[in-house]
Amino acid sequence: MKEKEIIFELENSLQQPSVRKSAEKLNDLISEDFVEFGSSGLVYTKQDVLNNLPASPEIKFIMTDFKITILSTDIIQSTFKTEKTNTQTGKVTQSLRSSLWRNENGKWRMIFHQGTPY
């Protein structure tokens, strides 16, 4: 499988309720030194994500304009747009997103993520 398909599948998995509600699955996809600049303006660590995301409301995602840039043999940047719908409130938000993925012993794990509303 090519890098674009691998990273697309990983990004897509992080948008699925079955992954977002599982600290175990999130732990597997997110690197120990992970940092997120959230669309809320807050900064999150891996532990923040593991503590908070499984308890958050379910979100339906639509991802578009997915691209990757290979920065080195072990680092890939993904960029894309999302439209998120909170299934409890119906609120819809759109954001530009970027992630950095690092190959750690043959397994791609996210080391950075940023969401910017537009």
- SS3 state of residue 22: coil
Decide if 82 contacts 73 (C-beta within 8 A).
no
Which residues are 114's β-sheet partners?
Answer: 37, 98
Domain ranges of the chain: 3-117
Sign of CA dihedral 67, 98, 12, 58: negative
Decide which of 3.10.450.50, 2.170.190.11, 3.40.50.150, 3.40.1160.10 is the CATH code for 3-117. 3.10.450.50
User: What's residue 115's pLDDT?
Assistant: 93
pLDDT per residue as tens digits for the range 85-98: 998 899 999 999 99
pTM (2 d.p.): 0.93
- Give the tokens for residue 45: 């660590």
User: What's residue 1's pLDDT?
Assistant: 67
- Measured distance CA(113)–CA(86) in Å, rounded: 20
- Give the tokens for residue 17: 């309720």
